[in-house]
Amino acid sequence: MKNKKDLLQKLRLECEQCKNCELCFTRNNVVFADGNPQSASIILIGEAPGENEDLQGIPFIGRAGKLLNEFLSQAEISREDDLYIINTVKCRPPKNRVPLDKEKDSCRDFLLSQVEIINPKVILLCGATALKSFIKTKIPISKIRGDIFEIEIKDKKYSAIPIFHPSYLLRNHSVEPNSPRDLMLKDLKKAKEMIN
């Protein structure tokens, strides 16, 4: 069996050649992942690359990414060691719109393969798009964030926790008890406990 790094490198090369949907024509870079595949025990799945991510080829590096880093630090989750960050789609949708179902479907094999290779203890479904990609529900993320769900990917079951997307928290500054920022920190601390 090849190691994770080799398997992911092969998958990344396939992803960079991908022309399965229209997003390949407008991207600057495929945004494959960030984090340490050898040590990560948490996968965070976001929505899609934004402008900064598309330019640099790294997920969660804009304003929302900086805020995410602050929360990870407070929850004592190392972005470099504990986390592997991916998105439901690897290319930026025009004007940062929500990815279309057909775009998510085109990227789904890459996404599922990444999860299978990393084999995390916990998956964080970051925002409504990631949530709806794995859990069929009409319940808003605000009602089920922090709950633990069991999802199946390639015949293996994983624990998944929906969390707020940091871009939502950029608009909600309160840190009062049970504010979105307070709940985000609690959810990340729960994930941290699950990997210890």
DSSP 154: T
Average pLDDT over residues 99-120: 97
Q: How many CB atoms lie within 10 A of CB 190?
A: 17
Name the residue ranges covered by the structural domains of the chain. 4-195
Fold that domain 4-195 belongs to in CATH = Uracil-DNA Glycosylase, subunit E (3.40.470)
The answer for residues whose C-beta is within 8 angstroms of residue 27's C-beta and 6 or more apart is 54, 91, 92
Q: What is the mean pLDDT of the chain?
A: 96
| CA 16 distance to own-chain centroid | 18
47: left (phi over 0), alpha (psi -120 to 50) or beta: alpha
pLDDT tens column, 66-83: 999 999 999 999 999 999
Rounded to whole angstroms, how far apart are CA atoms 15 and 192? 30
Q: What is the DSSP letter of 45?
A: E
Q: What is the pLDDT of residues 110-119, one digit of tens each?
A: 999 999 999 9
Task: Read off the pLDDT of each residue in 163-168 and give the average, rounded to a whole number.
Answer: 97
pLDDT at 1 over 90: no
Taking the model in full, what pTM does it have? 0.96
The pLDDT score that the predictor gives to residue 156 is 97
To the nearest 10 degrees (0 to 180), the angle between helices 180-195 and 63-74 is 60
- One DSSP character per residue, 87-139 reads ESSSSPPGGGPPPPHHHHHHHHHHHHHHHHHH--SEEEEESHHHHHHHS---S
